[in-house]
Amino acid sequence: MNDGDAETAPDSIEGRGRRKNWEPAYRIETARAVLRCWQPHDADLLLRAITQSIGHLQEWMAWAVGEPTTLEEKRAQLRRWRAAFDLDEEYIYGIFSLDEKAVFGSTGLHKRLAGDGLEIGYWIHVDQINRGLATETSAALSKVAFAIHQVDRVEIHCDPANVRSAAIPRKLGFRQEAVLRRRMAGVDGLPRDLMIWTLFREEYQGRPVADAPITAYDVTGRELPLS
């Protein structure tokens, strides 16, 4: 849930028994959006989207308490995200309109889980909520995580009180594993409960995410296989 946080997990995908001959998807096209690696020149679009959505974001996202930042700070942040992407430390994507003239939100595959897994985080522009866009983009990243990164599991975390966020993994066939009490910081700095949803590799083919109609491309623009 807490997308945009550039933390990294203590262990990486490499060395966990899976093949490392994949290239990360720098660009993913869905039916209604383009997910791509952030670039520094996207700073003004991102800052505008956050500013327009600030009330919505600050209801659930602890990182949003410090927003909006300046354009210079946002550009520096996007440089860090791009560097982390290139180093296979974390994969944070902008969610853009098909013409890439508007930011619909942000999402990511985060390497902050123990074991062979990736966590999906997301936030959506206030004008795009309740349109299924977070479900569409989370399905796309789930497919990329299993088909390209070859992970064993994908997780989505959210506040149990965030009903809209919790509906997304449920629609995609994730299973609720637990509600951990007082395990994450809320926007007020106080501890909040954490709901964990998980989809395992052996369950993937039987879930809606396997049929997500997407196309993925590497850093050179070459289409990546998804089967």
pLDDT in tens, 176-187: 999 999 998 888
Q: What is the mean pLDDT of residues 64-93?
A: 97
**What letters, b where the CB count within 10 A reaches 16 and e where it falls short, cover 85-100?**
beebbbbbbbbbeeee
Residue 19 lies in a domain: no
**What whole-number distance in Å separates Cα of residue 140 and Cα of residue 96?**
14
**What whole-number distance in Å separates Cα of residue 159 and Cα of residue 183?**
10
**What whole-number distance in Å separates Cα of residue 19 and Cα of residue 149?**
9
- What's the domain count of the chain? 1
> Model confidence at 16, in pLDDT bands (50, 70, 90)?
very low
Residue 6 lies in a domain: no
CA angle 101, 40, 136 (to 5 degrees): 50
Per-residue model confidence (pLDDT) at position 20: 60
Strand 27-29 and strand 215-217: the pairing is antiparallel
Structure tokens at 215: 């196309």
Per-residue model confidence (pLDDT) at position 189: 85
Query: What whole-number percentage of the chain has pLDDT above 70?
Result: 91
Per-residue model confidence (pLDDT) at position 22: 81
Per-residue model confidence (pLDDT) at position 72: 98
Residue 11 lies in a domain: no
What is the domain range of residue 186? 27-213
The structure's pTM equals 0.90
* pLDDT score of 217 more than 70: yes
Residue 172 lies in a domain: yes
Residue 97 lies in a domain: yes
The residue among 220, 202, 155, 227 whose CA lies nearest residue 24 is 220
Residue 224 lies in a domain: no
**What whole-number distance in Å separates Cα of residue 103 and Cα of residue 170?**
25
Per-residue model confidence (pLDDT) at position 188: 86
What's 63's domain CATH number? 3.40.630.30
